[in-house]
Amino acid sequence: MNPQVARQFGLVLRRRRQTLKLSQERVAHHAQLSRNYYQLLERGLSSRENETPANPSFSVLIALSSALDTTVPELLSEIFPSRRDAEVAFRAE
């Protein structure tokens, strides 16, 4: 994953968690992830040692969306805004 996108995803997770007034530990537990892994995701990383960007699997995205009382599309919508206008313009040409 692109490091900038990974960091943006981490910020989305953090904001959503803080809005719900949940601890990292609580979200990690509900998503059945280690607290360490969840902390890395909020930082946009998959490893502390080599600082590789986070690249969570689809099953992790589903678990996170459940733990954060939202949907996968909602989690990703801030990072990847809808492009329906572009698709409609392309089709019209």
Give all domains of the chain, ordered by start, each with its CATH number: 3-92 (1.10.260.40)
> What is the per-residue pLDDT for 49?
87
**Which segments of 1-93 does DSSP mark as H helices, in order?**
3-19, 24-30, 35-42, 58-67, 72-77, 84-92
Q: Which residue has the tokens 């995701």?
A: 41
Task: Tell me the average confidence (pLDDT) per consecutive run of 10 residues in the chain, 93 residues long.
Answer: 92 97 98 97 91 94 97 90 56 47
> Which pLDDT score is estimated for 25?
98
User: What pLDDT is stored for residue 84 in this prediction?
Assistant: 58
pLDDT for res 87: 53
Neighbours of 28 (CB within 10 A): 22
